[in-house]
Structure formats: C-alpha cells, structure tokens
Amino acid sequence: MDKRQFNRHLGSEIAKLRYEFGYSQEQMAEKSDLSRNYIGQIERGEKSLTVYRLYCILRALNISLEEFFSKF
C-alpha cells in the first residue's frame, strides 16, 4: 500500500466511525479541535495525519490508537 492508498484507507475508516457516532464533520471538528475543512480533507485522503492529530480525532470518538489500528 503506498502513501496515497494509506491516506484514503485511513480517511475512509475515520469517516465510517464518524458516521457510526452520528457526528457531522462540523461536530467532529469541534470535538477534535480541528477545522471542518481539515476533517473533510482527511476523510477524502487528501491530507496525511500526524499521530497527534489522529489521537485528537480518536479521542473525540473515545477510541484508542490500538483499537483503531487493529482494523488494518
């Protein structure tokens, strides 16, 4: 899997979790202290995440890094 594919897969998993929790991108942005635009770019695989920003997103969903990466 190359970087582009990885970003798309990661973004898709984040979007799926966000939908499961019933959050809009705006709500997710508020809960993770990131911008709505950035959340959208992540979900589309347009941006790479730092570990800290991934942590912020997963914390908003109450999911650990270990739990999230067990899906890969």
Asked if residues 9 and 1 have their Cβ atoms less than 8 Å apart, the reply is yes
**What is the per-residue pLDDT across 3-59, written as a single tens digit (0 to 9) for each?**
999 999 999 999 999 999 999 999 999 999 999 999 999 999 999 999 999 999 999
pLDDT at 16: 96
- Secondary element (H or E) of residue 65: helix 65-69
Joined tokens for residue 16: 């799926």
- Could you give the dihedral angle defined by the CA atoms of residues 14, 19, 24 and 27, in that order, rounded to the nearest 10 degrees? -60
Cα 24 to chain center, whole Å?
A: 12
* Residue at 9: amino acid letter: H
- Taking residue 5's Cβ as centre, other Cβ atoms within 10 Å add up to 10
pLDDT at 71: 74
CATH superfamily of the 3-69 domain = lambda repressor-like DNA-binding domains (1.10.260.40)
